[in-house]
Amino acid sequence: MAPRLGIVAGGGDVPARISAACEKVGREVYILGLEGQAHPDTLEADAWIRRGEGGRGVDLLRKAAVEELTMVGRVTRPSLRQLRLDAWSARVLAKIGGAGLGDDSLLSSLVREIEREGFRVVAPESIFSDLLASESQYGVNAPDQLAVDDIERGIAVARALGALDVGQAVIVQQGHVLGVEAAEGTDMLIERCGNMRLDGDGGVLVKIAKPGQDRRIDLPTIGPATVEFAAAAGLRGIAVEANGALIVDRDAVIRVADALDLFVVAITVDW
């Protein structure tokens, strides 16, 4: 019998999907929802904590006899002024210091501290394997040579961006970099670049993992809504990293991509 799984849940569908996958095989879960990120109308959490209540979260997970832990879902990064840190979180943040300037550095450091508390952090796709993108074309549409060139350009830029621990997504149109992801997230990046698009063939969204990141957490993620945002912004396709990105509800992604005449591909990135 697999040990009880703790799910630290942000926004989006992934936490509920992982919970359902566990229920299907009879595995017990304990869901810890993040206030202001996960939504109580769509997620049945066992308890809720705010960002900055890490110590209370650790206590709740320990009392629930959680052994393995996964951290999934969208989480917006607050400013330090917005956080009300409990003693555990303040101690961890002070220990991380300057290493926590980027999202990946912060999350990797946080994972190390959580594992020091006796939990084992696991990747969401190790529980629900359908999430992980495999090298494939999702739907009937394929990128033409111009799109392939834009994808290659996007990968090169995303590598440089990720090496600085800034973001995971880039939008390229006809060889021009329209935008790179920073603190705003992918949806707002797409919206911003939609206002900057050039005439002619539309751009491509490229999402890859950061070089050297802990791939148990914060992998690039797309879902049907990403495809809809991309179409509304005039993009003609999305490329993600095979075995380095998550696709939420791939059947719906294919259905929406076909209906909106976009390509979605997962490609191997040579690191």
Number of helices (H), then strands (E), belonging to the chain: the values are: 8, 13
Of the candidates 126, 151, 166, which is a domain's last residue? 126
87 and 145 part of one domain:
no
Supply the angle between the helices 103-116 and 87-96 in degrees, to the nearest 10: 120
118 and 182 part of one domain:
no
136 and 253 part of one domain:
yes
> What is the total count of domains within the chain?
2
**Rounded Cα gap, residues 36 and 185, in angstroms:** 16
- Predicted confidence at residue 163, as pLDDT, reads 85
Of the candidates 76, 92, 126, which is a domain's last residue? 126
CATH number for the domain including 171? 3.40.140.80
145 and 86 part of one domain:
no
Give the number of other CB atoms < 10 A from CB of residue 255.
Answer: 15
Per the structure, the complete domain to which residue 115 belongs is given by 5-126
The reported pTM is 0.88
10 and 69 part of one domain:
yes
23 and 104 part of one domain:
yes
- Predicted confidence at residue 81, as pLDDT, reads 65
16 and 81 part of one domain:
yes
151 and 72 part of one domain:
no
168 and 251 part of one domain:
yes
99 and 26 part of one domain:
yes
Q: φ, ψ for residue 87 (rounded to 5)?
A: -60, -40
**Rounded Cα gap, residues 86 and 90, in angstroms:** 6
**Rounded Cα gap, residues 68 and 52, in angstroms:** 21
Give the number of other CB atoms < 10 A from CB of residue 195.
Answer: 10
55 and 151 part of one domain:
no
122 and 145 part of one domain:
no
Of the candidates 98, 126, 154, which is a domain's last residue? 126
Low-confidence ranges of the chain (pLDDT < 50): none
240 contacts 269 by C-beta, under 8 angstroms: no
- Predicted confidence at residue 52, as pLDDT, reads 87
CATH number for the domain including 22? 3.40.50.20
